[in-house]
Amino acid sequence: MVKAGILIPTFNRRKFFEVSLRSALAQTHTGIEIIAVDDGSSDGTAEYGRSVGDPRFTFVENEANLGMPGNVNRGMSMFGTEVGWCTVLGDDDWLEPEFVSSCLAEAARNPGAVILDGSRVIVDPKGRRLRRARRPRGDVTALQFLESRLRKRRDSFLTGLLFRRDAFLAIGGYPMFATGLAADDAFIFHLALRDRLVTVNSAPAFVRFHSEAESHLPGDLRVLLGVMDQFVDYCRTAGTASGRISGRDEEHLFRTLDACRAAVNSGNWLRHLHAALALDRGRDRLLKSLYSVGVDPEFAFTRRVRFDAWLHGTLGLSPEKFLPYRAFWHLPGLRSPNPCSRWVRNT
């Protein structure tokens, strides 16, 4: 029987962690090893983890906070050598009891598979169903995965994946970016380069959306812009080294990555701008800084950001204050994610 590992990185989410762990322990596949790595919680998570007396479960406590990427890589290194397939379960998410068994059954039908993409359901903080996660039908190549992310046709989460442990080690583990931004996408892309991303339609994972989820937390804009540079460099290197992408496909990959960077950078810039516009104090200073970044040719942005920043610099206007203006950019033909080099500051 194939042995599978379930890794739960956790930090200060005891209530949610209990649900995640129970779902891991409830898997119908009998060959399961579960490891939870606590990154220095202070809310009783460690006390609870130590109290669980199931022989399939190991609770590990970090001496220093490693962050999400470090936590994942440490936990993955601790599985026994007999573990062939692994999944990383968010400490605020949970799995259907048949999740692992259904994914392994699909892997058996696809002997060359390296990474499987399970079905997901998005839930609110109380666990109430919101919607199915977006995902195109059928298996996709690594490049098709990036394209679907760029076009917003696919949600991307670490929870809900099952991947070969030897492949995880072969690519150097989970990407160690400065933040978790785009790390899941880079990881999935890198593994999918070895074969493809295989779709599994049964036994979903449940992904919880709440205000403390890492993907929803604000961050320093310049740090986030730097992370997207890391993402592009990582994927370019992985694509070139794989030997599976060359010629026109390589050119297409590079254009897609540049568009991904511009689109994500612009989304983060706009979120910071809209938050600044809502402030009563310190707004002018923040706006000046944001608009300065928006016209800086060092950073990749879409034409919406470039035009916003240029308009402010030329006329002193902040057009994003007006809802009709925001709606205008959602019209067909105006939502291009491609990077724009117009309206930048001359150097």
- Mean pLDDT in residue range 46-56: 97
Dihedral pair phi/psi, residue 64, rounded to 5° = -135, 155
Global confidence as pTM: 0.94
For residue 95, name the pLDDT band (cuts at 50, 70, 90). Answer: very high
- Mean pLDDT in residue range 103-117: 97
Listed in sequence order, the residues at least 6 apart from 231 whose beta carbon sits closer than 8 Å to its beta carbon are 175, 177, 181, 182, 183, 185, 186, 257, 260, 261
In this predicted model, what pLDDT tens digit does every residue of 140-199 receive, in sequence order? 999 999 999 999 999 999 999 999 999 999 999 999 999 989 999 999 999 999 999 999
264 secondary structure, DSSP code: H
Q: pLDDT exceeding 70 applies to what percent of the chain?
A: 97
Per the CB < 8 A criterion, the answer to whether 86 and 79 are in contact is yes
In this predicted model, what pLDDT tens digit does every residue of 242-274 receive, in sequence order? 999 888 899 999 999 999 999 999 999 999 999
In this predicted model, what pLDDT tens digit does every residue of 297-342 receive, in sequence order? 999 999 999 999 999 999 999 999 999 999 999 998 888 888 988 8
For residue 212, name the pLDDT band (cuts at 50, 70, 90). Answer: low
- In the chain the domains, ranked by start, together with CATH numbers, are 3-215 (3.90.550.10), 221-328 (no CATH)
Q: Does an H or E element contain 263, and which?
A: helix 248-277
Listed in sequence order, the residues at least 6 apart from 336 whose beta carbon sits closer than 8 Å to its beta carbon are 302, 303
- Mean pLDDT in residue range 106-124: 97
Q: Is the pLDDT of residue 7 over 90?
A: yes
For residue 207, name the pLDDT band (cuts at 50, 70, 90). Answer: very high
**Quick one: pLDDT at residue 214?**
56
Q: Is the pLDDT of residue 216 over 50?
A: no
Per the CB < 8 A criterion, the answer to whether 185 and 142 are in contact is no
